[in-house]
């Protein structure tokens, strides 16, 4: 227990201070410089520039078909960029074949060798390096233990379950301890418990081995949990790169706000804008909306207020000193999730907004119920104003 | 649906098989006939097999046939596999459609034409006709069968397996030998066996391309039969049938295994 605590403390210390992307003197390990990839007429990746630093855990998020796998395949060496340049540790990777790149990839389809058992699959990469037999044995046993597959070492891949295969693929790609590990949706086939365990295992692994991880995932929670920074892609472009909290709290565009987590987006007009904050007006509410956020916009411009369900408070009576930041409506529907409840509030104009509240009491009878008239309020730093 | 065999199905099955196998059965039966007369049954005997051992002409021909079949099918397998890889892998090179069409053409080409054109070629380059010209001719016409068999396997081959191997530091050449080849081996072997049997019972092309001193078994049998069928011929044909049957059986076992492996791979991909 004590050792566990010490370890988490170290992780915390490292993670808290780890922010090389803010350090202008730090040199990135991997650089994508204006990288594009076209398949015939189709543009799969479009002008991506991205720096990834040594020991970073970087997650790529984006809808299906937005080019995440293609970006990874270019780094692994299976596709040549149509334009731009990729460097690793200062070396231009153009023309370097996959088998000479210090990068290993875990494939989305696992790509386990069907004619080899689990053990040989994992040992395959080590054998290519001409590692001595004893060292291979030790290493394979180590990673087998890591993914908890020791009893299955002699099985062929087709005798394993989907989750077990995924773990073999993971083990095979980490076995060589590459400088950079590319994980293409590594945990999708695992159940929730094993997935969470493996996430922390991955973070641990990355910490202890000092590897750089690039992970593709559809699971935002997973990306938030494991990653130092997240890159959100859409239609082949990288739309925002930032640490998880920034992506969530200060999304750059409506698209990102909507893509990550739940959000209410309301169209508004700018009333005043300045360095201290903005005042917005909306047809959805009679109250003025004040947001503590510097904004460079002209009066009368259209702006969008993005506000997350958990950032709002809901009340059956109008709060005292009510002057701004309020929506009035009636409860249209309630979703009870156990730890919190989601209230769908219908405003006078017919728009519905989502508000979530933690369930702090054990009472089964909730004070707020269907058809109740409610006041929904939020503080000036609860919302974010977006111009795109 | 009624899945048991109806009398109609049974009769058609029996008739069909009878049509196919009664001649062969007769041949096998008469090879064990004690009488010299082919049409009169005079009791069981293996004397013709013993006599066969004395018949140097037939044994020589068998030996030539086996050597030609082995060498030519070996070479055809290598060349056919390479052709299949080139045609499935190197996607859009110039003239790809033409080339893939050209691999299929010899499958439907009348043997007389193949034989004649090869003969013309050998004459034109002044090659002395004999064992090696037959072998070369057989390589040419069996190669495309191998290419077709291997190609159909390669189309369903999951290329990320090769990428995974490259990613783990394996060179492309080694990847071919440790990943690709083991996985397509059943197809390559059945291609080999197909080439072997095709070469063994070819009469037309061999007749065109042979020269003095190199007579294959089908040629020898054919020329002897014109003088009358002897029980010895029946005996050697029985042996030939035996060899072909074994090879065909092996090939179908391999095909089954390959099918199983392919299904598994698909299952993995689907579940994964
Ligand atoms: N070899 C190829 N030839 C033509 N188009 C391709 C090729 N590879 C990928 N594409 C296209 O490029 C786009 C991006 O594909 P990619 O595999 O990178 O998507 P992805 O973001 O990984 O999606 P997913 O989350 O579904 O895995 C897709 O529209 C895909 O159809
Ligand atoms: Mg993908």
- The pLDDT tens digits for A217-264 are 888 888 888 888 999 998 888 988 989 888 888 888 888 888 888 888
Domain edge (last residue) among A204, A220, A254: A254
Same domain, A374 and A276: yes
CATH number of the domain that residue A29 is part of: 3.40.50.300
| Angle of CA points A316, A323, A378, to nearest 5° | 60
A103, A178 contact by CB (below 8 A): yes
Q: What integer is the mean pLDDT of A300-328?
A: 84
DSSP code of residue A319: P
Confidence of residue A1 (pLDDT cuts 50, 70, 90): very low
Classify residue A53 as left (phi > 0), alpha (psi -120 to 50) or beta: beta
In chain B, what residues touch A99 (CB-CB under 8 Å)?
A: 166-172
Find which of A99, A136, A159 to mutate to test the B interface (most B CBs within 10 Å of its CB). A99
Give the per-residue pLDDT at B91. Answer: 65
Quick one: CA dihedral B256, B260, B265, B266, positive or negative?
Answer: positive
Question: Which residue has 């059943």 as its token pair?
Answer: B186
In this structure, which residue's CA is closest to atom 2 in ligand 1?
A: A39
Q: Tell me which DSSP letter residue A28 carries.
A: P
pLDDT at B72: 95
- B38 CA from centroid of ligand 1 (Å): 71
The CA–CA distances, whole Å, from A86 to A76, A183, A219, A229, A251 equal 10, 18, 27, 19, 27
B165 touches chain A (CB under 8 A): yes
Both structure tokens of A197: 């365990």
* Tens-digit pLDDT profile for residues A173-225: 988 888 899 998 888 777 788 788 778 878 877 877 788 999 998 888 888 88
Which member of B169, B182, B268 has the closest CB to residue A115?
B182
Domain-located, residue A163? no
**Ligand at shortest distance from the CA of A63:** 1
Distance CA B250, CA B272 (A): 33
Under an 8 A CB cutoff, do B166 and A111 touch?
Answer: no
CB of B199 closer than 8 Å to CB of B73: yes
Question: Do A111 and B164 make contact, defined as CB atoms within 8 angstroms?
Answer: yes
> Residue A44: nearest ligand to its CA?
1
> Which of A79, A93, A113 is the best residue to mutate to test the B interface, defined by the most B CB atoms within 10 Å of its own CB?
A113
For B201-240, what is each residue's pLDDT tens digit?
888 998 888 888 788 888 888 888 887 777 788 888 888 8
Average pLDDT (A277-300) is: 80
In a domain, A250, yes or no: yes
Q: Note whether A266 and A284 are within 8 A (CB).
A: yes
* Torsion from C-alpha of B165, B269, A238, A102, nearest 10 degrees: -10
Ligand 1 pocket residue status of A164, Cβ below 6 Å: no
Beta carbons of B268 and A189 less than 8 Å apart? no
Q: How far apart are CA B31 and CA B22, in angstroms?
A: 14
Q: Are residues A222 and A94 in the same domain?
A: yes
Ligand 1: residue whose CA is nearest its atom 20: A65
- Is the domain of A241 the same as that of A266? no
Q: How confident is the model at residue B177, as a pLDDT?
A: 93
Closest Cα to residue A269, out of A277, A259, A280? Answer: A280
Q: Which ligand is nearest to the CA of A65?
A: 1
* Structural domain contains residue A123: no
**Which domains can be identified in chain B, with CATH numbers?**
45-261 (1.10.3720.10)
- For CA atoms A293, A294, A299, A301, the dihedral sign is negative
* Residues A234, A269 within the same domain: no
pLDDT at A182: 92
- Give the count of Cβ contacts less than 8 A between chain A and B: 78
- Spatial distance between the Cα atoms of A114 and B272, rounded to a whole number of angstroms: 13
- Token code pair at residue B77: 């397998």
Say if the Cβ atoms of B169 and A103 lie within 8 Å: no
Position A127 in a domain = no
Largest CA distance in chain B: 71
Tell me if B272 and A189 make a contact (CB, 8 A cut-off): yes
- The tens digit of pLDDT for each residue in B87-113 reads 887 766 677 777 777 777 778 888 898
Domain count across chain A: 2
In a domain, residue A160? The reply is: no
Nearest to A62 by CA among A189, A213, A241: A241
Per-residue pLDDT reduced to its tens digit, A44-64: 888 889 999 888 889 999 888
- Is residue A111 within 8 angstroms of chain B, CB to CB? yes
**Per the structure block, which two tokens stand in for A32?**
């994508």
- With the most atoms of ligand 1 within 8 angstroms of its CB, the residue from A67, A106, A188 to mutate is A67
> Do A308 and A369 reside in the same domain of the chain?
yes
Distance (angstroms) between ligand 2 centre and the Cα of A108 equals 7
Q: Which residue's CA is the closest to the ligand 1 atom numbered 14?
A: A67
> Which of A264, A263, A303 minimizes the C-alpha distance to A281?
A303
The residue among A254, A278, A302 that closes a domain is A254
Same-domain status, A299 and A213: no
Which tokens in the block code for residue B146?
């191998």
**CB A109 less than 6 A from any atom of ligand 1:** no
Structural domain including A329 reads 262-379
Q: Which of A77-81, A139-143, B5-9, B128-132 has the lowest mean pLDDT?
A: B5-9
pLDDT attached to residue A58: 92
Same domain? A75 vs A186: yes
Give the ligand 1 atom nearest the CA of A72: 18
Which residues, other chains included, contact A334 with Cβ-Cβ below 8 Å and sequence gap of 6+?
A341, A342, A343, A344, A366, A368, A369, A370
User: With a 6 A CB cut-off, is A69 part of the ligand 1 pocket?
Assistant: yes
Tally of CB atoms within 10 A around A56: 23
The DSSP H or E segment spanning B200 is helix B181-200
CB < 8 Å from B in window 54-83 of A: 76-78
Handedness of CA A118, A124, A127, A129 (dihedral sign): negative
- Residue recorded with tokens 């014109």: B226
What average pLDDT is seen over chain B?
84
Which residues in chain B are closer than 8 Å to A97, comparing Cβ atoms? Answer: 166, 172
pLDDT at B271: 53
Please indicate, yes or no, whether residues A239 and A278 belong to a single structural domain of this protein.
no
Q: A92 with A206, same domain?
A: yes
Residues 6 or more apart in contact with residue B59 via CB below 8 angstroms = B52, B53
CATH code of residue A289: 2.40.50.140
Q: Are residues A248 and A283 in the same domain?
A: no
Residues A187 and A295 grouped into a single domain: no
CB < 8 Å to A171, chain B = none
Q: Token match 């004999």: residue?
A: B130
A124 within some domain:
no
* Closest residue to atom 11 of ligand 1, CA basis: A44
Q: Look at residue A172 in the predicted model and tell me its pLDDT.
A: 92
Bridge-partner residues for A327, per DSSP? Answer: A376
Q: Which residues of A273-288 are buried (b: 16+ CB within 10 A; e: fewer)?
A: beeebbbbebebbebe
Put simply, whether B110 touches A (Cβ < 8 Å) is no
Q: How far from A24 is each of A27, A53, A238, A321, CA to CA, in Å?
A: 8, 12, 21, 47
Residue range B41-61: mean pLDDT, rounded? 82
A17 Cβ closer than 6 Å to some ligand 1 atom: no
State which of A221, A254, A287 marks the end of a domain: A254
Distance CA A135, CA A117 (A): 19
- pLDDT of the residue at B267: 66
Instruction: Decide if pLDDT at B13 tops 80.
Output: yes
Domain assignment present for residue A135? The answer is no
Q: Is residue A68 in contact with ligand 1, taking CB distance under 6 Å?
A: yes
pLDDT band at B174 (very low <50, low <70, confident <90, very high): very high
Positions of E strands within chain A:
30-39, 42-52, 57-61, 83-88, 91-92, 103-106, 180-184, 212-216, 229-234, 237-242, 264-273, 278-281, 289-291, 302-307, 312-315, 326-336, 340-347, 352-358, 373-378, 383-386
Q: What is the pLDDT of residue B239?
A: 85
Instruction: Give me the residue from A98, A105, A165 closest to B272, CB to CB.
Output: A165
Which chain A residue has the Cα nearest residue B262? A114
pLDDT for A262 equals 86
* pLDDT for residue B92: 66
Same domain, residue pair A86 and A227 = yes
Q: Which of B163, B168, B268 sits opposite A128 (nearest CB)?
A: B168
Tokens of A91: 């070396």
The structure's pTM equals 0.77
Residue A75 has pLDDT above 50, yes or no: yes
- B147-161 pLDDT, tens digit per residue, is 999 988 888 888 899
Name residues 18-57 of chain B within 8 A of A (Cβ): none
In a domain, A131, yes or no: no
Alpha-carbon distance of B41 to B247, in angstroms, equals 31
The answer to whether residue A316 scores a pLDDT higher than 60 is yes
- In tens, the pLDDT along B179-207 reads 999 989 888 988 998 899 889 888 899 88
> Is the pLDDT at B36 greater than 50, yes or no?
yes
- Smallest Cβ–Cβ distance between B183 and the set A97, A111, A114 belongs to A114
């Amino acid at each position: 227990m004590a050792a566990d605590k010490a370890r988490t403390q170290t992780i915390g210390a490292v993670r808290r201070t780890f922010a090389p992307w803010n350090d202008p003197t730090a040199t990135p390990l991997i650089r994508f410089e204006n990288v594009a990839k076209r398949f015939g007429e189709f543009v799969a990746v479009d002008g991506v520039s991205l720096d990834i630093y040594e020991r970073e855990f970087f997650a790529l998020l984006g809808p299906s078909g937005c080019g995440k796998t293609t970006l990874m395949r270019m780094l692994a060496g299976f596709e040549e960029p149509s334009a731009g340049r990729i460097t690793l540790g200062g070396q231009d990777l153009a023309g370097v074949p996959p088998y000479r790149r210090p990068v290993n990839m875990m494939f989305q389809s696992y790509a386990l060798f069907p004619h080899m058992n689990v053990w040989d699959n994992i040992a395959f990469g080590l054998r290519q390096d001409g590692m001595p037999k004893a060292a291979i044995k030790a290493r394979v046993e180590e990673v087998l233990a890591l993914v908890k597959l020791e009893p299955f070492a002699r099985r062929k891949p087709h005798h394993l379950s989907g989750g077990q295969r995924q773990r073999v693929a993971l083990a095979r790609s980490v076995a060589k301890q590459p400088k950079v590990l590319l994980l293409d949706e590594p945990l999708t086939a695992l159940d929730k418990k094993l997935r969470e365990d493996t996430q922390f295992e991955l973070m641990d692994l990355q910490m202890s081995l000092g590897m750089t991880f690039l992970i593709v995932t559809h699971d935002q929670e997973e990306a938030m949990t494991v990653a130092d920074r997240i890159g959100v892609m859409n239609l082949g472009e990288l739309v925002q790169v930032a640490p998880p909290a920034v992506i969530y709290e200060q999304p750059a565009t409506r698209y990102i706000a909507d893509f990550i987590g739940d959000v209410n987006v309301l169209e508004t007009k700018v009333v005043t804008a300045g360095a201290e904050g903005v005042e917005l007006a909306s047809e959805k509410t009679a109250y003025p909306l004040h947001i503590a956020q510097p904004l460079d916009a002209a009066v009368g411009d259209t702006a969008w207020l993005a506000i997350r369900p958990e950032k709002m408070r809901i009340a059956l009576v109008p709060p005292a000193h009510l002057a701004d930041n309020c929506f009035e409506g009636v409860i249209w529907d309630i979703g009870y999730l156990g730890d919190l409840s989601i209230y769908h509030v219908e405003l006078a104009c017919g728009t519905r907004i989502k508000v979530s509240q933690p369930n702090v009491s054990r009472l089964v009878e909730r004070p707020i119920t269907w058809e109740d008239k409610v006041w929904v309020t939020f503080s000036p730093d609860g919302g974010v104003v977006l111009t795109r | 649906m009624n899945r048991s065999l109806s009398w109609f199905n049974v009769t058609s099955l029996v008739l069909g098989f009878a049509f196919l196998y009664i001649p062969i059965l007769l041949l096998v039966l008469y090879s064990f006939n004690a009488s010299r007369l082919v049409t009169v049954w005079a009791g069981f005997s293996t004397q013709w097999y013993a006599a066969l051992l004395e018949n140097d002409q037939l044994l020589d021909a068998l030996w030539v046939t086996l050597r030609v079949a082995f060498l030519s099918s070996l070479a055809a397998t290598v060349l056919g596999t390479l052709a299949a890889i080139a045609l499935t892998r190197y996607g859009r090179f110039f003239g790809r459609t033409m080339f893939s069409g050209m691999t299929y053409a010899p499958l439907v080409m009348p043997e007389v034409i193949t034989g004649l054109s090869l003969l013309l070629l050998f004459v034109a380059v002044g090659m002395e006709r004999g064992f090696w010209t037959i072998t070369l001719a057989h390589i040419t016409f069996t190669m495309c069968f191998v290419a077709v068999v291997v190609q159909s396997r390669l189309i369903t081959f999951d290329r990320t397996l090769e990428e995974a191997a490259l990613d783990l530091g394996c060179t492309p050449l080694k990847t071919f030998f440790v990943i690709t080849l083991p996985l397509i081996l059943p197809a390559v072997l059945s291609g080999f066996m197909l080439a072997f049997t095709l070469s063994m019972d070819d009469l037309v092309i061999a007749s065109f391309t042979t020269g003095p001193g190199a007579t294959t078994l089908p040629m020898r049998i054919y020329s002897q039969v014109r003088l009358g069928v002897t029980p010895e011929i029946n005996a050697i044909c029985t042996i030939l049938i035996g060899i072909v049957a074994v090879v065909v059986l092996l090939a179908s076992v391999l095909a089954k295994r390959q099918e199983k492996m392919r299904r598994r791979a698909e299952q993995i991909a689907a579940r994964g």
